[in-house]
A and B are shown apart, each in its own frame.
Chain A
Amino acid sequence: MTPASFRFSFIARSLAAAALLAVGTGAAQAAAAIGQPAPAFTGVDTAGQRVSLADHRGKTVVLEWINPGCPYVRKHYGAANMQATQKAAVDKGVVWLSINSTATDATDYLPPERMAAWMKEQKAAATATVMDVDGRIGRAYGARTTPHLYVIDSKGTLVYAGAIDNRPTARAADIAGATNHVQAALAEVLAGRSVSVPATQPYGCTIKYSAM
C-alpha cells in the first residue's frame, strides 16, 4: 500500500459511515425502460437451443410474451393476427422472439415440445420460441401480460413496450379496425424514425411467474 492510500484509509473510514448513508444501498430492480438499452438475456428455445439477445445485435428485435392458455393470446392467434404481424416483421429482417414466462407449476404451463407443437399448429412465424420458465427474462423486461410486446431497435435500445393494439378485449371481432401498435412501431423504426407511440398499456392475462 502506498503512503497515499494509508492516508486515505483513515480518512475513508471516518467518511465511510456518512457516505454509505447518503449513497444508500437500495436495490430497487427497475424494469426495462423505454429509450434505454434493452436488458441482455440468454434463454433456451423449445428445441433446447441457446437464444441470446446479443446474437441479434444490429437487427431490430420484437419480443412477444405468450401463453397459449390465455384467451387474449388465442384472440390474436385464432384470428391469425399475431402470425400476420410476425410474418410481416420477419420478412423485413426483423427477429421475432416469442417468450413464454409461465411457471411450470401454473395450470396452463406447456412443456417445450407442446409449446413448439402449438406454435407449429398456429403457423407462427416467430424466429424462436423461448422457454423462460424461471421468469428471468420476463422480470427483466417487466412483462406483465400475455400478450405483451417489446420492440428493440438495431442499436439495442428499447423503443416500444405495450399492447399489440388499441382494443383491449378478448373478442376477435375487435381486431378489424384496431391500430396495431407493433406494426406502427416497426414501420417507424425500420424507416429510421423515432417511435411516435413508445408505450401503451398492455392487456391480457397476468403472467404467472414462478416464485423466486
Chain B
Amino acid sequence: MPASSASPTSARPARAWRAAVARVLLAAAAVIPAVLHAADSAVVRTDQARAELVVHAPQGVAAGSPLWLGLKIEHRPEWHTYWKNPGDSGLPTTLAFELPPGFVAGEIAWPTPRPLPVGPLVNFGYEGTLLLPVAVTVPAGFDGDALDVKLRADWLICKDVCIPEGGDFALRIPARAATTAHAALFDGARAAVPRRLDEVRGQATLAGGALQVSISGLPASWRGRPLQFLPELAGVIDNAAKPAARWQDATWSAAVPLSPQRSESPQSLQVVVVTAGEAAGIQVPLTIAGNWPSPGAGTTAAAPVEAARGPTGSSGDLGLAAAMALAFAGGLLLNLMPCVFPVLSLKVLGFAAHAQQRRTLLLGGLAYTAGVVVSFVALAAVLIALRAGGEQLGWGFQLQSPAFVAGLAALFTLIGLNLAGVFEVGSVLPGNLAALRARHPMVDSALTGVLAVAVASPCTAPFMGASLGLAATLPPVQALAVFVALGLGMAAPYLVASAWPAVARLLPRPGPWMAHFKVLMAFPMFATVVWLVWVLGQQVGIDGVAALLGSLLALALAAWALGSPSLGRGARWVLSSTALACLAATLAWALPSFVDPAARAGGAAARDTGARAGEPWEAWSASRVEQALGEGRAVFVDFTAAWCVTCQFNKRTVLADPAVLAEFQSRRVLLLRADWTRRDPAITAELARLQRNGVPVYALYAPGAVAPRLLGEILSAREVRDALGAL
C-alpha cells in the first residue's frame, strides 16, 4: 500500500463520505429488504481496515438466551488498534451501542492483547483479525420479530502514522431464528479473553519506585516461563521497562517499575499475565499495599538516578528499611577503609589485653558502639542543621577544612608517637583525665569509636552514597535513623567480637609481641599523617605543608618533653618550657595558613583537576558539560577530592589506564574532573542533583539522555568500557 494513501489528510474526507453513505443506506432501509440492509450498513471500510458489526445469537433473541454483539476489525498488514490500556500511546477502541429500551450492552470482553514496541515506546493492542465481543442482556418479555442495533465505534489505527477512524453501524437481527454465521469468530475471541482462576492470588507492594508483584496459583505449565505483565489501567507502570522477575516454586514475583510520569494511583489494579504461546492470559486482581510516591516528594526524588544503579537495575527510591540496610552494610565496609583501619587496630590491641575479662570486653564493645553511633548522629545532626541553614555543604565537609585536616594530622602524629613509645599518655594528660581513662576503659572505648567515625566519614564506601543521598532528602528523624544504622554497621564487627569471646579468643595471646605490635602500629598512623599532609598541600599549597610539618615537629618535641618516661624532673621542666614556647611560636606562625582557604585559592593552583600538560582532563563546570552535550559529545565527569582515597585509587588505576583513555578518545568523550577537595558550591549542587553527598561519583552524560549514568564507586576498566559501549 502506498504510504500516501494512508496519510491522515485523506482519511478525514473519506470517513465523512463513508458516514454519508451509511446514512443514505439507513434512510433507504425502509424500502430495502432487511437482509440486504444488514449486510451493507454493518460494514465500514477504510484504507487501513475493514470493520463489521457482527452478532452471535445461537438461540435467537430471547430473554435468558445468550446474545453477543461484536465489532470485527480486519487490520491491513502492519496496522494495529489498541487494548483497553493502549500502553504508551494509542487509544482504546470505543463502542457505543444504541439498543431498544430494556436491552443492556455490557463491557467489551477484550481479548488478550500483545505488546507492540514502537521505537522506545511499547503499546498494547491487536493486529490481524480482531473481534471485540459485547454481551447483551435481553429484557424479559421481549417478543419482537427482530432486534435493531446501532453502533457508533471509534478506533485509532496506527502503523508509523496514526489515523483516528470510526463508523456508524446498523444491524437488524432476526429474533426467532438462530444467527450463528460468526460462531467460530466469537468462539475464538472467547478463547482469547483472559481467564479468571479462583486459585490465582496476587498482591502488590509499593517499594523502591516499583510495584513488587507476587502472583501464585498460576498453571503449573507456566512455571519457569517468562510472563508478560499487562495492567488493565494505563498510566501506572513504565511500559517499556523490563521488570526484574523470577519464579520461586509456584510463585511468580516481579518488580515492575512505575512510570516516572504516572497519572494513576489506584488502590487495586487488575492485571493480565500471559506467557508466549497462550491465546488467553490470566486476569489477576492485585490489591496494592503501601503508599504511592507523590510526584516530586522526597521519596521519589531518588528515582531517576537510582534507576541507573539500583541492585536490580530497577528504577526507584530507597525505602527507609532498604536505606537503613544499605547504611548498615556501608558501615560494615567502613571498617575496611584505610582511614579507619589504623584506629581499629588500636581496638585490636585492646581486645588482646582484655581477652580474659569477658564483661570488660563486652562493655568495651558496647561503649565503642555507643561512641560510633553517637558520633554519626552528631554528624548527621550537624549536617541537617547546616542543611536547614542553607549552607552548601556535603558529606565529607570536615576534610574540606584545612584546619580540620591539620588538627587530624596532629592527632595522628600524637597517636603515632605514643604507640612508638616517645611519650606515655598517662603523663601528658591532666591527672584526673588520665585517671578517668585508666579507670574507665569504657570511656576509652567510646572515644575510640568517636575517633573512628571522625576519620571514616569522608570515605564513602560503596552502598553509602545512596543512603547518604537519601538521608539528605529525608525528614530529620528518618535521616538520623539511617545514620544510626550506619553507625551500628560500623561497630558491629567489634561488638560481635567483644560479645563472643570465642571470636575474641581467636586473637593471639598477650605477650612481648604486643609491644612490638604497638610500635608497628605507629607506622600506619604516620602513613595517615603523610596522606593528611598531602591533602592539606592540595588545599593550601606548599607553604601550608611547611607550616603543618613545622607544627607537627614542635608538637612532637612538646609531647616528648612532657611525656617521656625517661626524663628526670629538672630536665623535663627545662625542656617542657622550651618545647611549649617553640610550639606556641610555631602555631602562631602556622595557624593562619589553615584558617582561610578561600583567600589562598589563587595561590593553590595545583588542584586535583589534573589539568596539566599532556593530561586529557579539563576542569569541570556545568556549562562545559552542557556545551559538549550540545555538540553531541558525551561527557565523563570524575567527582573527586584529594582527601578521598577511593577517588585517588580509581584516578591512578582505571582512569589512568591507557586502554580506557584511548576508548574515551575514540568516542570523543570529554573528560572533566570536578575537584571537591575544598568547598565548591557548584559541585555540591551538582552532587545533590545526582542524589549524592560525597565523592567519588563517576557520571557519564550521554547527549540526549535524561540522567547521567553513574558508575560504581570502585571503578573497573570493564565497567567504564561497558558504559561507553552503551552510548
On A, residues with C-beta under 8 Å from B are 1-5, 7-9, 11-12, 15-16, 19-20, 22-37, 39-42, 50, 52, 54, 69-72, 74, 106-108, 134-137, 139-142, 144-145, 157, 159, 161-162, 168-170, 198-211
Q: What residue of chain B has the Cβ atom nearest to residue A194's Cβ?
A: B296
B704 touches A140 (CB 8 A): yes
Looking at B295, B653, B705, the one whose CB has the most chain A CB atoms below 10 A away is B295
Residues of A within 8 A of B723 (CB): 25, 27
Question: Apart from A107-B6, A135-B704, A145-B89, what are 17 other A-B pairs with CB-CB below 8 Å?
Answer: A3-B530, A4-B527, A4-B645, A5-B649, A8-B649, A20-B712, A23-B712, A23-B713, A29-B308, A30-B707, A35-B296, A50-B630, A145-B88, A168-B91, A201-B234, A201-B264, A207-B121
Residues of A within 8 A of B261 (CB): 31-34, 142, 161-162, 199
Query: 4 smallest A-B Cβ distances: which pairs?
Result: A35-B296, A26-B313, A136-B704, A33-B260
Q: What residue of chain B has the Cβ atom nearest to residue A161's Cβ?
A: B261
Q: What residue of chain A has the Cβ atom nearest to residue B711's Cβ?
A: A25
Separation in Å of the B114 CB from the closest CB of chain A?
16
Interface assignment of B550: CB less than 8 Å from any CB of chain A: no
Q: What residue of chain B has the Cβ atom nearest to residue A1's Cβ?
A: B652
How many B residues are at the interface, by size bracket?
Answer: 35 or more
Interface assignment of B4: CB less than 8 Å from any CB of chain A: yes
Give the residue of A15, A20, A27, A39 whose beta carbon is less than 8 angstroms from that of B336.
Answer: A15
B311 touches A24 (CB 8 A): yes
Segment touching A, from B104-112, B161-169, B585-593: B161-169
Give the residue of B161, B310, B626 whose beta carbon is less than 8 angstroms from that of A54.
Answer: B626
Residues of B within 8 A of A108 (CB): 7-8, 161
Residues of B within 8 A of A5 (CB): 338, 531, 645, 648-649, 652
* Complex Cα–Cα for A42 and B626 (A): 8
Segment touching A, from B506-514, B567-575, B674-682, B714-722: B714-722
Separation in Å of the B636 CB from the closest CB of chain A?
14
Separation in Å of the A74 CB from the closest CB of chain B?
7
Interface assignment of B374: CB less than 8 Å from any CB of chain A: no
Give the residue of B12, B119, B336, B462 whose beta carbon is less than 8 angstroms from that of A71.
Answer: B12
A205 touches B706 (CB 8 A): no
* Complex Cα–Cα for A35 and B294 (A): 9
Count A-B contacts at CB 8 Å: 259
* Complex Cα–Cα for A208 and B7 (A): 14
Segment touching A, from B297-305, B415-423, B555-563, B594-602: B297-305
Residues of B within 8 A of A200 (CB): 235, 263
Give the residue of A25, A39, A170 whose beta carbon is less than 8 angstroms from that of B722.
Answer: A25
Residues of A within 8 A of B705 (CB): 29, 39, 140
Interface assignment of B333: CB less than 8 Å from any CB of chain A: yes
Give the residue of A19, A40, A161, A207 whose beta carbon is less than 8 angstroms from that of B626.
Answer: A40
Q: What residue of chain B has the Cβ atom nearest to residue A203's Cβ?
A: B91
Give the residue of A2, A8, A202 whose beta carbon is less than 8 angstroms from that of B534.
Answer: A2
A30 touches B119 (CB 8 A): no
Complex A-B: 21 CB contacts under 8 Å: A5-B338, A19-B713, A26-B308, A29-B705, A30-B303, A69-B7, A70-B162, A71-B163, A107-B161, A139-B706, A142-B260, A159-B296, A168-B91, A203-B89, A204-B89, A204-B162, A205-B161, A206-B88, A206-B118, A206-B160, A209-B119
A70 touches B626 (CB 8 A): no
Residues of B within 8 A of A20 (CB): 712, 714, 716, 719
* Complex Cα–Cα for A27 and B531 (A): 35
A207 touches B303 (CB 8 A): no
Residues of B within 8 A of A23 (CB): 309, 311, 462-463, 712-713
A205 touches B158 (CB 8 A): yes
Give the residue of A12, A106, A139, A159 whose beta carbon is less than 8 angstroms from that of B120.
Answer: A139
A205 touches B714 (CB 8 A): no
Separation in Å of the B703 CB from the closest CB of chain A?
6
Give the residue of B3, B241, B463, B530 whose beta carbon is less than 8 angstroms from that of A2.
Answer: B530
A206 touches B89 (CB 8 A): yes
Separation in Å of the A26 CB from the closest CB of chain B?
3
B263 touches A199 (CB 8 A): yes
* Complex Cα–Cα for A141 and B121 (A): 12
Looking at A12, A32, A40, A207, the one whose CB has the most chain B CB atoms below 10 A away is A12
Residues of B within 8 A of A12 (CB): 646, 649, 714
Give the residue of A19, A106, A135 whose beta carbon is less than 8 angstroms from that of B161.
Answer: A106
Residues of B within 8 A of A54 (CB): 626
A30 touches B315 (CB 8 A): yes
B161 touches A208 (CB 8 A): yes
* Complex Cα–Cα for A145 and B88 (A): 8
Residues of B within 8 A of A144 (CB): 88-89, 121
Separation in Å of the B685 CB from the closest CB of chain A?
11
A35 touches B89 (CB 8 A): no
Give the residue of B8, B160, B338, B703 whose beta carbon is less than 8 angstroms from that of A136.
Answer: B703
A169 touches B649 (CB 8 A): no
Residues of A within 8 A of B9 (CB): 69
**B residues 265-317 with Cβ under 8 Å of A?**
294-297, 300-301, 303-304, 307-315
B339 touches A4 (CB 8 A): yes
Q: What residue of chain A has the Cβ atom nearest to residue B261's Cβ?
A: A161
Residues of A within 8 A of B8 (CB): 69-71, 74, 108
A28 touches B313 (CB 8 A): yes
Q: What residue of chain A has the Cβ atom nearest to residue B459's Cβ?
A: A8
Q: What residue of chain B has the Cβ atom nearest to residue A142's Cβ?
A: B261
Interface assignment of B79: CB less than 8 Å from any CB of chain A: no
Residues of A within 8 A of B709 (CB): 27
Residues of B within 8 A of A142 (CB): 260-261, 706
A11 touches B338 (CB 8 A): yes
Q: What residue of chain B has the Cβ atom nearest to residue A2's Cβ?
A: B531
* Complex Cα–Cα for A11 and B524 (A): 15
B160 touches A107 (CB 8 A): yes
Residues of A within 8 A of B341 (CB): 7
A11 touches B336 (CB 8 A): yes
